[in-house]
Structure 1
Amino acid sequence: MTVGDIIDALSAFDRDTPARLAINPFFPMAHRLGGVEKSVDEHGRPVVYIAESPEAEQFGPLPPAVAVALAWQGPVDAPPRRRRGATRPNDGH
C-alpha cells in the first residue's frame, strides 16, 4: 500500500472522523494513531511509518465486521443451540 493508496482510501471519509490502527490478525485490537514518520528502507527507498499513540492506548477488540472486511477472519455464525435434557437427582450418589 502506498501513501497515494491511503490518501485515496481516506478521501471517502469526513476529515473529522477518528482514525484507528487495526493490529494483529490473530488477536485483532484497535489502537489510537500517534504519528506519521518518513524514513528509508534497507535499500534507501523512502518509506512512511504510521505509529501507535505514545500512550499505547488500546480501544479493545476490533469489531468483528472490520476483521472480516480485512480478511483476518471469516464470517462466524453462532453455533446451533440444542435442547438440554432435564437434570434429575441421582438419589444422593
Structure 2
Amino acid sequence: MAHTEMTVEDLIDLLSGCDGKQPVRLAMNPFFPMAHRLDQVVQATDETGQPVVYLAEGRDADTQLGHLPPEVAVALAWQAPVHAPPHRPRRTACGS
C-alpha cells in the first residue's frame, strides 16, 4: 500500500476552515500523546533530493505543553473512547 504524504496545499486547505487567530499545536506520539507548540516552518530537501517543508517545535523548555487532550487523541484514532464504569451501589462498612 502506497503512503501519500500531506502536501502544503492539503495543509492550507485543511487550515482554511479554521479560525486564523487560533494557535497551532502539533500532536505527537500516538502511544504517549503529547501536545507541542510550533515554532518554525523550514523548506529543505530530504535525503532523496525531494523538496519538503518541515514544521518544527520550539527549543524552549515550555514547547511541550503536556498530554494531548483525550478528545483529540480519540479524534485522531490514537485512543479508543473511554466510558465511565457502570454505577454500582456502595458497600457499607459492615459488609452488606
Partner of 1:91: none
Partner of 1:29: 34
TM-score (norm 1): 0.83
Which runs of 4 or more aligned residues in structure 1 lie more than 4 Å from their structure 2 counterparts after TM superposition? none
Q: Give the partner amino acid of 1:35.
A: Q
Question: Cα RMSD over matched residues?
Answer: 1.7
Partner of 1:79: 85
Q: Give the partner amino acid of 1:76.
A: V
**CA displacement at 1:14 relative to structure 2:** 1.9
Q: 2:12 aligns with which of 7, 14, 24?
A: 7
Q: 1:49 aligns with which of 46, 54, 62?
A: 54
| Structure 1: segments with no counterpart, 5+ residues | 89-93
TM-score (norm 2): 0.81
Q: 1:68 aligns with which of 65, 74, 82?
A: 74
Aligned residues: 89
| Structure 2: segments with no counterpart, 5+ residues | 1-5
Taking the aligned partners of 2:29 and 2:93, their CA distance within structure 1 comes to: 43
* Deviation sequence 1:30-75 (CA, Å, 0-9, x none): 1110101111122100111100012142222111111111111111
Taking the aligned partners of 1:10 and 1:4, their CA distance within structure 2 comes to: 10
Q: Which has the larger radius of gyration?
A: 1
Task: Report sequence identity in percent.
Answer: 61
Taking the aligned partners of 1:86 and 1:28, their CA distance within structure 2 comes to: 39
Q: What SS class does the counterpart of residue 15 from structure 1 fall into?
A: coil
